[in-house]
Amino acid sequence: MQPRKIATIAAALAAGLSALATAPLAQAQAAGEQFVPLLVYRTGQFAPLGIPWADGKQDYLKLVNARDGGVNGVKLSFEECETAYDAAKGVECYERLKGKGGGASGFDTQSTGITFAVTDKAFVDKIPVETPGYGLSQSADGTVFEWNFPLLGTYWTAADVMLQDIAKKEKGSLKGKKIALVYHDSPYGKEPIPLLQKRAEADGFTLSTFPVTPPGVEQKSTWLQIRQQKPDYVLFWSAGVMTPAGIREAQASGYPREKIYGIWWAGSDHDVKDIGAGAKGYNAITIHNSAAKDKVHDDLKKFVYDKGQGTGVPAGVGTLAHTRGMMISMLQVEAIRAAQEKYGKGKVLTPEQVRWGFENLDLSADKLKALGFGEIMRPVKTSCQNHMGTDWARIVQWDGGKWNIQSDWYQADKTHIDPLVKEYAAKYAKDKNIKPRSCG
Amino acid sequence: MFYRENGQFKTSYQADLALFPVAQDRWALLALLAVAFVGVPLVGSDYFFRAVAVPFLILSLAAIGLNILVGYCGQISLGTGAFMAVGAYAAYNLQVRIEGMPLLLALLGGGLCATVFGVLFGIPSLRIRGLYLAVATLAAQFFTDWFTNRVKWVTNDSSSGSVSVGNLQILGFGIETPVQKYLLCLGFVAVFALLAKNLVRGAVGREWMAMRDMDVAAAVIGIRPVYAKLSAFAVSSFIVGVAGGLWGFVHLGSWEPAAFGIDRSFQLLFMVIIGGLGSIAGSFFGAAFIVLLPLLLNYVPHWLGLPLSTGTATHLEHMIFGALIVFFLIVEPHGLARLWSTARQKLRIWPFPH
């Protein structure tokens, strides 16, 4: 009985000590460092995507510290917080990290769902939320969404570019075609639907939507339905474990993989590596040109991985998800640099000042080349109205062993997207009682 | 020595039937309420309110609701997340579709809708028990997952499936700062905990406990199973629905159906099991354990100076969690509440051992 009593008391004590957990973490970084919070998901259904993404984000910050000594001498400090793609955990991480080290420089929530939850709070706390390649597509309108930055592209631009590439294959016209959208049944997967519906009306194709219950490992019935309906093309809005499951089902049901277009989160090496030749022909869209390798990868190897400081495995450097993580961190660092030009070089900046930096990004081709991203990105310029900057995308195709760049540069056709952005942004402003600011 | 009832004579039946017969208990509770309502708002940080206190309060409210069903009435339910979802979405619809709907009415209305839903999915309990009932309530969970995702009018035709609530206010007082949100949740929890405690001490509560202990014998002596079981489902779903409304409105502000998924149901069930089945105080202990333990596990590597990747920390958290649940079920099946009441029993004769 005695050991059991001791064990019981010990467990009760542990439960009681949890009350002490509310004490804030000791500040790990020294004063004079710019703090960048890193919200990641290394566990959960999206972990296969989240791990290289998180590694890429952290690696670039380490690179900037090692190679350049920080931004104009101000070193970058960072801390990871695990969200597991859960909105409540994401909110807890946001609350924990927003005030560290003089204020968080910006939140890359890595999830459309968490972006929804954090956007309302960031608006009050005055902290920028950068959502490159995901998030609310209408937040490209900077007059309503002062603190959101869907840089480099949104799901609406992605869907539009996919349709452009399909139209090219179909000799310029989509009329009469059947296009299916197989999507992760969450705000992430539902994002492209408004734009696709509008384009279906305008271009005369039929859109059918197939939701897949998260986490998406069960897709047999979905792909059997697709086999029955025989759409001409399938747009695949998946991530994490859902992607390989879907491609395997497509293979099993005999749907040609050349007709499948995966969104950028569904087109990375870990998604298709294990399937290998079975996924041959699978197309994916990349945000800007994240499939390329450039000087930044060599720098990363030289300054970080060779010194044993790398976050992930060296083999992960150069995969699409890792490169995307690096691009996102690069945008954060360049926003800090741009803000320092205005508010004082070598100073630690507040989140509001970094927001100004995000709004006044001007990355020219020369600048990108100097940073080592010349092949990976095209020039990006944000403004007060346009928080997305310039969107570019390319289509890549898996040949069984690696990704090959299949197409030239695409830009989304704004004739449908711009009115939709305005409409949805106005609706958001009305619901939330936000007075759009004037950009003059 | 300090916790004795010496000299406390009850001179009326009312005093004898009081919620806390021992005067020291009453003083302790008043002190606790004073600290909670007055002390904590003075010293707490924003992070503490937003990320610790508010989730703890809302989840303890939901745990009280679930404890009524599982602990007092003995009906296993794995659909608590569904009831929270119904409460949240119903409150959202009431607020969005009716101009000028007061916040309190919207939340209580959400609770009523959850009651209807709960009674509907409680009907199988009249024929099946135990594990089979758990599966039937699991059906409620999956039905709600489908319902909130697929049926457009639930999310007010939101294209993304996410809904968000605007500025909260009660009678002109805004509920924006973390302290105000904390006080709103604390108010709800205090009122509902009192209601629940009185319910379980009354006739209805005794009927529930009779159904839990031996439902055939209870039916033999005249307790109507239909009434007892469905009233347990009704009351439990109401409380859980209000908790769901609070979770969506006050804690998250903007949510998607995944916020009330099966994980939430399991989390609440673990809270109730670890905290103590059949005990109102146990719901609070369980909620505290489950809300604070992950935070503690996050901080311990930092305090010890061990560099732990966030992924590893989360995996460790799941493992330690599971191990602790198994440990508690073996060592103290009646949960932390039993530990607490044992401690109080020992305090009554302290410093003597017996």
pLDDT digits (tens, 9 = 90+) for B277-335: 999 999 999 999 988 887 787 777 777 777 777 788 888 888 888 888 888 888 888 88
Minimum CA–CA partner of A85 in chain B: B258
Residue B273 to residues A312, B278, B324, Cα–Cα distance (Å): 39, 9, 11
A51 with B311: Cβ contact below 8 A: yes
Is B46 in contact with B178 (CB distance < 8 Å)? yes
What pLDDT is recorded for position B94?
A: 94
Helix (H) or strand (E) holding A93: helix A87-97
Task: Please name every residue paired with B255 in a beta bridge, in sequence order, or none if there are none.
Answer: B163
Q: pLDDT class for A9, splitting at 50, 70, 90?
A: low
A116 with B160: Cβ contact below 8 A: yes
- Which residue has tokens 């960031």? A122
A186 with B256: Cβ contact below 8 A: yes
Q: Is the peptide bond before A215 cis (omega within 30 degrees of 0)?
A: yes
**Residues of chain A neighbouring B47 (CB-CB closer than 8 A):** 24, 95-96, 99
Half-sphere exposure of B336 (CA within 13 A, CB side): 26
**Residues of chain B neighbouring A81 (CB-CB closer than 8 A):** 310
**Residues of chain B neighbouring A2 (CB-CB closer than 8 A):** none
A11 with B302: Cβ contact below 8 A: no
**Residues of chain B neighbouring A82 (CB-CB closer than 8 A):** 310-311, 313-314
Q: Is the peptide bond before B124 cis (omega within 30 degrees of 0)?
A: no
- Which residue has tokens 């489950």? B290
Percent residues over pLDDT 90 in chain A: 42
Assigned CATH for A155-291+395-412: 3.40.50.2300
Residue A269 to residues A226, A281, B134, Cα–Cα distance (Å): 25, 14, 41
Q: Would you list the domain boundaries of chain B?
A: 45-261
Chain A: nearest CA to B70, how far in angstroms? Answer: 23
| pLDDT above 90 for A331 | yes
Asked if B48 reaches chain A (Cβ–Cβ under 8 Å), the answer is yes
B 297-336 residues with CB < 8 A to A: 298-299, 302, 309-311, 313-315, 324, 327-328, 331-332, 336
Please list the residue range(s) of chain A that carry CATH number 3.40.50.2300. Answer: 33-154+292-392+420-432, 155-291+395-412
Asked if A191 reaches chain B (Cβ–Cβ under 8 Å), the answer is yes
Task: Please name every residue paired with A399 in a beta bridge, in sequence order, or none if there are none.
Answer: none
B251 with A91: Cβ contact below 8 A: yes
pTM, two decimals, is 0.83
Residue-wise pLDDT for A373-416, tens only, equals: 888 888 999 998 889 988 889 999 999 888 888 888 898 888 88
Minimum CA–CA partner of A185 in chain B: B149
Asked if B253 reaches chain A (Cβ–Cβ under 8 Å), the answer is yes
Residue-wise pLDDT for A98-138, tens only, equals: 888 888 999 999 988 889 888 888 888 899 999 998 988 88
Asked if B289 reaches chain A (Cβ–Cβ under 8 Å), the answer is yes
Is the ipTM higher than 0.90? The answer is no
CATH value of A33-154+292-392+420-432 in 3.10.180.10, 3.40.190.170, 3.20.20.70, 3.40.50.2300 = 3.40.50.2300
Burial class (CB in 10 A: 0-12, 13-18, 19+), A253: middle
The rounded distance, in Å, linking the Cα atoms of A39 and B285 is: 30
Q: What is the mean pLDDT of residues A1-14?
A: 61
A 23-42 residues with CB < 8 A to B: 23-26, 28, 40, 42
Q: What is the mean pLDDT of residues A13-25?
A: 49
Q: pLDDT class for A19, splitting at 50, 70, 90?
A: very low
Q: What is the mean pLDDT of residues A271-294?
A: 87
Asked if A11 reaches chain B (Cβ–Cβ under 8 Å), the answer is yes
Residue-wise pLDDT for B228-277, tens only, equals: 999 999 999 999 999 999 999 999 888 888 889 898 999 999 999 889 99
- Which residue has tokens 């303890």? B60
A 110-139 residues with CB < 8 A to B: 112-113, 116-117, 119-121, 124, 136
Minimum CA–CA partner of B44 in chain A: A22
Percent residues over pLDDT 90 in chain B: 55
B314 with A82: Cβ contact below 8 A: yes
Q: What is the mean pLDDT of residues A12-31?
A: 48
Of A18, A121, A191, the CB nearest to B292: A18
| pLDDT above 80 for A31 | no
Asked if A315 reaches chain B (Cβ–Cβ under 8 Å), the answer is no
